[in-house]
Structure 1
Amino acid sequence: MGSMPGFEPETPAFRGKVLDTSANKTNGLNRCPSCGSTEISPVYGTYDLVCGHCRQSWTGTSLEVEQGLGEGIHALKGRVTASGAARITDTSTLVTLKCGGCGAEVVINTATGHQRRCHWCRQTLSLDAQVPNGAVPDGILPFYVSWEQAVGHVKQFLAKRSYFASDDFKRNFIPHNVVGVYLPYLVVDGNIRARLDGHGEILKKTYKKLFDDKTVYYDANAYRVYREFDLVVDDLIVESSSHRAAIDPLVNTNNVVNAILPFDVKNMVAFESNFIGEFTSEKRDLDIEHALERVQGKFMTLARQKVVEHIGHYNRGVRWDAEQLVVHGTRWVSVYLPVWLYSHYERQPDGKWMLHYIAVNGRNGQTMGSVPFQKSKLLGLALVIGGSTGAAALLLLVVALLVAATG
């Protein structure tokens, strides 16, 4: 069994660089460049915004191009943090803005949105510049999949599982409850060096001994193996919401959101609250320090995968006994990613509630979810199969009985 990977600790000097993505942005009235109206909304399926008054449209700014996020990863030294991913220093969800139209003070609850109408002059106030509570990301990836398409994906997903789905779930399925939400994530680039040490074997021959045709003998040469190499990681995506990062299969199935990755984050645009439109959003509440261990673990996973193509001649396999990861540099950017969600509460036999989710990637339609099933049907299938397939069906039967017993 391999030892735990070694990670080189970060020093304060390592964490000193900031990439300002909120330059020239202000909070308050975000006006149409043509007529000055604040009635601005997204054009779904595009990167455009349109004025509701004069119908002038314009395209959002590519964050990748504007900030050079696709460049220089191999030369990263230390930690570069975009301003939207900076440490959260204020846990309050309320932000007060002064209306530039009439001077009134308007409070925005950042836990539920980034815009609010002034109660006096009815102009829309927007939160576009970063604030200390982590509510404003660096970028946003607009929805491409429409609501109608998302409902179709959910129905198709359910159709393949309808036989085993619980009657309560099928009876209470309401397509209108498929809702769009922007979820907060961190996008990480990494310049790393990895080393793996272990043992590999090359099979030379197999044979059986005379008078013993039941035992197969293997002759193999054993070698000490190590691989050390540089690796560039581009656009690794990790959760920045504590609710989404905390996976508890006894309470909910929010881990299905990870199953609809990846997203084409290279196409994200610089954040403007107008892109959110009528969708809801969740506020980032995790700092980089909270995600660091998970990111380093993912870096190591990528390193293991990368080395596979270089050890194919060890046809008996390689066992890694020690792993080491040196992170020369990282770059962190916060982003809102689009997800369509459908949720359903299931009451368990013990009285507790399980929250099931079906998630649709708002960019490409990739769908995954959890459906409460009718245990009696699963048990019946196991009994039917059991009459003809022996041990495999017996295993299925045992699983079905355990599930039925535990709820």
Structure 2
Amino acid sequence: MTQPHDSDGAPSGEAPEPTIIDTTTGQAHGHDSCPQCGSTEITRKGVTLSLICQFCRYEWVGSRLEDTHGLGEGIGELEGRVYTSGAADITRDDTLVTLKCTGCGSEVVVDTAHSLESRCHWCRSILSINDKIPNGAVPDGVLPFTVTKDDAVARIAQFVEKRQFFALKKFKAEFKPDNVMGVYMPYMTVDGNVGARLHGQGEVLTRRYTVQTGKNSSTTYYDANVFDVVRDFDLHIDDLIVESSASRSHIDNRSNTNNIINSLLPFDVKEMVAFDSNYLGEFSAEKRDLNIDDVSSRAHVQFLTMARESIRDDIAGYDRGVRWTHEQLTVHGSRWASVFLPVWLYSYAEKMDDGQVMIHYIAVNGRSGACMGSVPVNKGRLWAVTLGVFAATAAIAWPLGIIAMATGA
């Protein structure tokens, strides 16, 4: 069983003060501008990390989040909870934020539930949320798309083609892979400085032998030495990716298959750049709606799983395996950051026999191109094939069984 443990190394009854890393840009809201001429007409150059000013053609590359704030260093020295300003608790205030245009002074309202930028209706300057406002709308880092839409469309079409035989007829007729959309999904990355203690029993095989128990039957026995096994060790975990959207964290499989998105992990988060709204371009982004406290227990479960896996080679000598009876995890310190990860997404609504609607998703990792999804199944064809296989197996197995019993073999 898993023993209870204090969260993030907190002494019983008293939690240490968290450490906050400020990842804000220091710029005024509404001013993600060219560092050379000040223009806000900025686009990303292809699928590279370069940004280019449409006015003066100046090019520059955003800074890597880890390099800017040292998030890849000192995991072994972490104590208590450390988090970036973008991962701070979400406030429940209105998602409408008013920005003052630095071009003409007009005030423009941005609905952060749907977009992180807008355009001034007077001077056409692009306004963006580039400081970390305390409502969960803006992350610390973003991992830009490198898989193009054409590539994503091709991968989704190939995924569906391989499942055409069992796919619902209506789905095949209505399937339009061009409807795929690119979206930035909210996640958190967490580093962990943890200690683990595992206690159980391991077995080493000493003898294997077979005893005849009847005319046509026998039993195999195993002799083994049993040992108490204890492993007590520290583990440093770098960039575990944790879901920060409630709609995908608590899945209702009766109405959607959106947890497919989490099957696209991992992402190369080491290449993540510090947040700059210019990397979003025309892509939409989903707002984070879970706090660190909401996801920390899930992260700790994954920490423990990683601890077990880390000593697999060390216990390989117990060739009959090890059964852990007590597991204890202590999180000495953790470090959290809020990030946007790129996903290409296709959805299809299937009306079920009971009148409810099931939403099927097919998703493509916007970095690696990995594709996973759910296709509505033609249940009649599935049952027909299943019964056919069962009948064919029975037609072969039953006569062989009858012959064996008749001959006493």
| TM-score (structure 2 length as normaliser) | 0.92
Give the CA deviation at 1:51: 1.4
Q: 1:15 to 1:161 in 2, by over 3 A?
A: farther
Question: 2:223 — aligned with what?
Answer: 219
User: Is the 1:7–1:296 Cα contact (8 Å) retained in structure 2?
Assistant: no
Question: 2:275 — aligned with what?
Answer: 271
- Distance in 2 between residues matched to 1:231 and 1:307, nearest whole Å: 10
Give the greater-gyration-radius structure (CA).
2
Of 134, 137, 140, which residue of structure 2 is paired with 1:138? 140
Question: 2:127 — aligned with what?
Answer: 125
Give the CA deviation at 1:43: 2.1
Moved over 6 A (4+): 391-394
- The alignment status of 1:237 with 2:236, answered yes or no, reads no
Question: 2:161 — aligned with what?
Answer: 159
Of 260, 264, 272, which residue of structure 2 is paired with 1:260? 264
- Distance in 1 between residues matched to 2:83 and 2:71, nearest whole Å: 11
User: Is the 2:364–2:372 Cα contact (8 Å) retained in structure 1?
Assistant: yes
What is the total number of aligned residue pairs between the two structures? 392
Secondary structure of residue in 1 paired with 2:350 = strand
- In structure 2, what residue type is equivalent to 1:26? A
- Distance in 2 between residues matched to 1:211 and 1:360, nearest whole Å: 56
Give the CA deviation at 1:222: 1.2
Question: 1:105 — aligned with what?
Answer: 107
User: Is the 1:192–1:231 Cα contact (8 Å) retained in structure 2?
Assistant: yes
- The alignment status of 1:325 with 2:329, answered yes or no, reads yes
Deviations 1:325-368 (A, max 9, x none): 01111110111000000000111111111111001000010000
Question: 1:48 — aligned with what?
Answer: 50
Question: 1:349 — aligned with what?
Answer: 353
User: Is the 2:212–2:219 Cα contact (8 Å) retained in structure 1?
Assistant: no
Of 92, 95, 111, which residue of structure 2 is paired with 1:93? 95
Question: 1:389 — aligned with what?
Answer: 393
Deviations 1:164-185 (A, max 9, x none): 1111111111122100000010
Give the CA deviation at 1:290: 0.3
Q: 1:374 to 1:5 in 2, by over 3 A?
A: farther
Deviations 1:225-273 (A, max 9, x none): 1111111101100011111212111111111111110000010001011
User: Is the 1:32–1:40 Cα contact (8 Å) retained in structure 2?
Assistant: yes
Question: 2:75 — aligned with what?
Answer: 73
Question: 2:5 — aligned with what?
Answer: 7
Question: 1:401 — aligned with what?
Answer: none
Give the CA deviation at 1:9: 3.3
- In structure 2, what residue type is equivalent to 1:144? T
Secondary structure of residue in 1 paired with 2:355 = coil
- Distance in 1 between residues matched to 2:115 and 2:150, nearest whole Å: 23
- In structure 2, what residue type is equivalent to 1:109? D
Question: 1:193 — aligned with what?
Answer: 195
- Distance in 2 between residues matched to 1:15 and 1:324, nearest whole Å: 24
User: Is the 1:27–1:128 Cα contact (8 Å) retained in structure 2?
Assistant: yes
- In structure 2, what residue type is equivalent to 1:199? Q
- Distance in 2 between residues matched to 1:375 and 1:223, nearest whole Å: 51
Give the CA deviation at 1:33: 2.1
- In structure 2, what residue type is equivalent to 1:6? P
- In structure 1, what residue type is equivalent to 2:285? S
Deviations 1:118-172 (A, max 9, x none): 1122111111100011111000000000000000110111111011111111111
Secondary structure of residue in 1 paired with 2:298 = helix
- In structure 2, what residue type is equivalent to 1:253? T
- Distance in 1 between residues matched to 2:394 and 2:300, nearest whole Å: 45
- Distance in 2 between residues matched to 1:393 and 1:112, nearest whole Å: 60
User: Is the 1:86–1:287 Cα contact (8 Å) retained in structure 2?
Assistant: yes
> Identical aligned pairs, as a percentage?
52
Deviations 1:293-331 (A, max 9, x none): 100000011011112111111111111111100111111
Question: 2:405 — aligned with what?
Answer: none
- The alignment status of 1:20 with 2:22, answered yes or no, reads yes
- Distance in 2 between residues matched to 1:329 and 1:391, nearest whole Å: 62
Ranges in structure 1 where 5+ consecutive residues have no aligned partner: 395-407
